[in-house]
Structure 1
């Protein structure tokens, strides 16, 4: 016996859901047309990057992620922050609110249905300025520090300006005048979203979130130097215990673990882009012990430095597109 299911027919769905489905399809079609080949593609709009991947990635890509709004138009992506895993597809977005060392991996892609995505990076000053304009800092409830990375629903209200921004790539003469307005609208929607307070916290003077952002900045600039947590805490006007507590709440790791990931990622970059050996790269990022560097590199990337770099170079040579 068949039973009826409420809202099962396409015509019965909420209009917003129908519109969002159509918008996602249009966004995917535009990204596929505008990319054409695998890789990350810079656009005429500053800090707006399109991406296409035709195969599931066997290994994660490690990087220090700047504050950004990330969207998957087709496929699925997995992002790791320390030991935490975030998986999102075309129904969600990923927001990175702080400069964080993360690992990303496309887990759903094929030549017939490639992964298609985009990234809109924000200057922290833009986030702070708009949050202050909206006076969000005055209405924020007092909450404990939260992760500087989170996912949210990719609703029609966010898809609409995102589509308009992407369409501008077909009208480059309109980009200087219209792109800043649309980007501000996207940021406004994000700040007004249920998790928007995580972004707005950075605009609150002397908030824990703002101080942790300062600590991240110090570590990012001076990761080669020995870490003295007491000095770092003094520099951002926090006690050592408070720094540890809130730093881990935002980044999912301690300051020392954060520094270690920055060092290892930079050493990998040095070996690949500058053709340096492991001893040179380890020394340049602050390791005094070569054996310690090799151990920590192997633990983090899964292979010793020389073998890992060789694998990455072979992958680069085997690619047919940028």
Structure 2
């Protein structure tokens, strides 16, 4: 993919960041770090679509490119841009540029919305009052990329992490709020805003997705009317609350099928389905294959032994 020529400062930062990520991820895979919020990813090949739930996080690519798809809406990002998810979102990720010679290299920094709230209060930032999508792609600025690079460098001086890491993470979030699309992040920091209530509703669904979802009860929990909940939930996630819960259930069932010796019916029951036929039908609609065929395909891809 042809990229725009980056400013010299950004290009220098990107080169060092790629070198550091490669050092902390010596082979293909996902790697944790001494910072619980920070992890790295390396891949020598483009990937099949991967279903996951993105935490509130900043995703940075130092080398290669990726597409994140949310309910049919696609967001392409690469070394010149970053992606932010402001709430838990069901994302389909696909690495679109990677080779053994120039592998895909990325990092993900999870963040706490409470820090966003503190920064907004301390800097007295205003918000436009609109409820918007909880995912964005934006161009890097040198100050933001510099802060990300300094955070990764801390892994080489672990004694500095307890003192300096919280300060640098706070700076990174401050830089994100200063970006062109900072409003999309800021909206979740205002207690009482519709976006804040939707964030709470998302947390409630995630905490017990196997439980039947009663929209009236959920709306009451977050102090919204059912119609307002539905309207603003779709604005934030592109999904209705029931669609969101269904994706959580199917992703959880897929993990169970892959890691435990369960048949499709048992996995469906575990995540809240009462009808095995409905579970199999919806599973195939989402993942493209019925449960048994899909798990066999995944095991072949991941080289996971049959349990």
Q: TM-score range by the shorter chain?
A: over 0.9
Q: CA deviation at 1:126?
A: 2.0
1:46 corresponds to 2:36: yes
Report the equivalent of 1:5. Answer: none
CA deviation digits over 1:212-248, x for unaligned, max 9?
A: 0011011111211222111111111111111111100
CA deviation digits over 1:193-225, x for unaligned, max 9?
A: 121122222121210110000110111112112
Report the equivalent of 2:82. Answer: 93
CA contact (8 A) 1:127 1:203 kept: yes
Q: CA deviation at 1:133?
A: 2.3
Q: Map 1:1-322; keep pairs closer than 5 Å.
A: 17-57=7-47, 59-136=48-125, 139-143=126-130, 145-317=131-303
User: TM-score under structure 1 normalisation?
Assistant: 0.90
Q: CA deviation at 1:21?
A: 1.1
Larger Rg: 1
Instruction: Return closer, same or farther for 1:306/1:318 CA change in 2, 3 Å cut-off.
Output: closer
My pick for the range that moved more, 27-36 or 277-286, is: 27-36
CA deviation digits over 1:238-278, x for unaligned, max 9?
A: 11111111100000111111010000001011111222111
The RMSD of aligned alpha carbons is 1.5
Unaligned runs of 5+ in 2: none
Runs of 4+ with >4 A deviation: none
> How many positions carry a matched residue from both structures?
301
CA contact (8 A) 2:84 2:137 kept: yes
CA contact (8 A) 1:132 1:203 kept: no
Q: Give the whole-Å Cα distance in 2 for the aligned partners of 1:228 and 1:298.
A: 25
My pick for the range that moved more, 157-166 or 308-317, is: 308-317
Q: Give the whole-Å Cα distance in 2 for the aligned partners of 1:35 and 1:164.
A: 18
